[in-house]
Amino acid sequence: MNFDTIIIGGGMAGLSCALRCLEAGLKTAVIASGQSALHFSSGSIDVLAKTPSGKHVINPMDSLETFSKEYPSHPYAALGKETVERAINWYKTTLSAIGVPLTSQKDGLNHYRLTPLGTMKSTWLSQPFVHQFPMDLEKNKTQKMVLITIDGFRDFQPKLAQDNLKQITQLSDLEITTASISLSAFNDIQRNHCELRSIDLSRLLSKRANRQELAYALQQHANPGDLVVLPSIFGNGMGLSYLREIEQLTKLTLCEVPTMPPSLLGIRLEESMKHAFIELGGTMLNGDHVVQGEFSYVDKSDPEHSHYRLNRIFTKNHGDFPLQAKQFVLATGSFFSQGLKANVDSMIEPIFGLDIAQSDKRTDWYSHDFFSTQSHPFLSMGIKTTANFQAIKSGHVIDNLYCAGAILSGYNPILEGSGSGVAISSGFHAAESIIEQLQCSDFLQNNNTKTEVAL
């Protein structure tokens, strides 16, 4: 099978890149091995919450210019403020067009979102029913919050969230109550209702009668003007419509919080992007993974600076039938998604054996104190790339293999709250670079390949 572009990885970075390539009319395929990290995400878009030194960021876009100068090895420094802004605005427009509108504060500031543990996390874009608390919590206008769960549901504990919220001094005037709601639909299922996860509850609430029962129960515990916090138990597809329906029935202000995984807020993003990708004509290869690639050596008349070219890849499911493309993007994630692996003395990129920015000493990978205020160094390690995010193998640049997302080195998405921002921006940038190259006739004619080097 031949494509213009093949993206390896079906997470935020890979799908962002794939959608942009399809928009430009490129024949595009995505190879996704399974569930992405979006199944564990909040469903909000974090651009930049903290600097690597731990300083809180209030306005991420305005901070990018100075941030890039202070942290030149960070992906944002290579991308530049203009590219990051274009990418995030493009993503916001794209998601709105496919049914998941994302909004930010009008002044461009970060906002707080509520976590299932009752803490506040800084983010930049959130879904319609994620309440946006101001960064200055003393300006919070909500007077009463009602934390409600479904009877027996284990992945959201209102009492725990209530206790943690009461520790936030800026919210000392906020009245916080809790409640648990039981549904008669539990009587019709064979499983114990305490075993139900968010996906199971979303199936029950797809029935109008169950939603009406839920709406009536909510009215018994809250009044108009209260902020009613619910676990995210409304799936993709009609999920947002169901929430609007319940708001209209109850006249209450609803707030979704992500649950312990699986997170339906994150799944809503993934499934919406995958559905749009397929609808636009993309090829989605689910449940498959790349096992190796074949490279060609490109003689640039200077062996010291010679480049490679990735010609084709082999996957587990397709066996001896290779997939070919003019351009490739590697967006397989970090250790969590097995895009990177570690053994006793080194880290590896398991598909192509790409060069990794890592310390030679294992003792430098981590902090001595597990709960150190400074993050463990291994979280910032990843693939070595050019400034244009082209991969490097054995010191040689691979002209047509770009890297995007958590596989990149130089940043810590957990500490910084920059995971989604870097994923979207680097995926978008890879797509833009590919589009530009494929539209250039000089590039299409420049295939002076010589010795093949198979992995």
User: 10 Å Cβ neighbour count for 71?
Assistant: 17
pTM (2 d.p.): 0.91
Asked whether the bond before 262 is cis by omega within 30 degrees of 0, the reply is yes
Residue 383 confidence (pLDDT): 93
pLDDT at 377 over 80: no
Whole-Å CA distances, 402 to 13, 189, 224, 349: 11, 48, 51, 14
Mean pLDDT of 419-431: 97
pLDDT at 455: 47
Section 171-196 average pLDDT: 89
Predicted pLDDT of residue 238: 86
pLDDT for 449 beyond 60: no
Question: Is the confidence at residue 323, as pLDDT, over 80?
Answer: yes
- Strands 144-150 vs 175-181: parallel, antiparallel or unpaired: parallel
**192 pLDDT more than 90:** no
pLDDT tens digits for 233-257? 997 778 999 999 999 999 999 999 9
Element (H, E) at 193: none
More confident residue, 413 or 342: 413
Whether residue 175 is predicted with pLDDT greater than 70 in this model: the reply is: yes
**444, 415 Cβ separation under 8 angstroms:** no
For residue 368, pLDDT beyond 80: no
Q: Give the lowest-confidence range in 162-166, 208-212, 375-379.
A: 375-379
Location of structure tokens 């499934």: 271
Sign of the CA dihedral 10, 16, 20, 21?
A: negative
Neighbours of 160 (CB within 10 A): 14
Cα distance between residue 204 and residue 211, in whole Å: 9
Contacts 24+ apart (CB under 8 A), 337-341: 337/9, 337/11, 337/36, 337/37, 337/406, 338/33, 339/9, 339/406, 339/407, 340/381, 340/382, 340/383, 340/407
The DSSP secondary-structure symbol of 376 reads P
Residue 445 has pLDDT above 60, yes or no: no
Note the CATH number of domain 2-97+268-454.
Answer: 3.50.50.60
At residue 1 the predicted structure's pLDDT band, cuts being 50, 70 and 90, is confident
Q: Which two tokens stand for residue 267?
A: 């799944």
Q: Does residue 289 have a pLDDT over 60?
A: yes
| pLDDT above 50 for 452 | no
Express each pLDDT in 49-89 by its tens digit. Answer: 999 888 999 999 999 989 999 999 999 999 999 999 999 99
For range 158-181, the mean pLDDT? 96
Greater confidence, 266 or 298?
266
Q: Where in the chain is the domain with CATH 3.50.50.60?
A: 2-97+268-454
Percent residues over pLDDT 90 in the chain: 73
pLDDT for residue 297 is more than 60: yes
Average pLDDT over every residue of 20-48: 93
Would you state the pLDDT for residue 13? 97
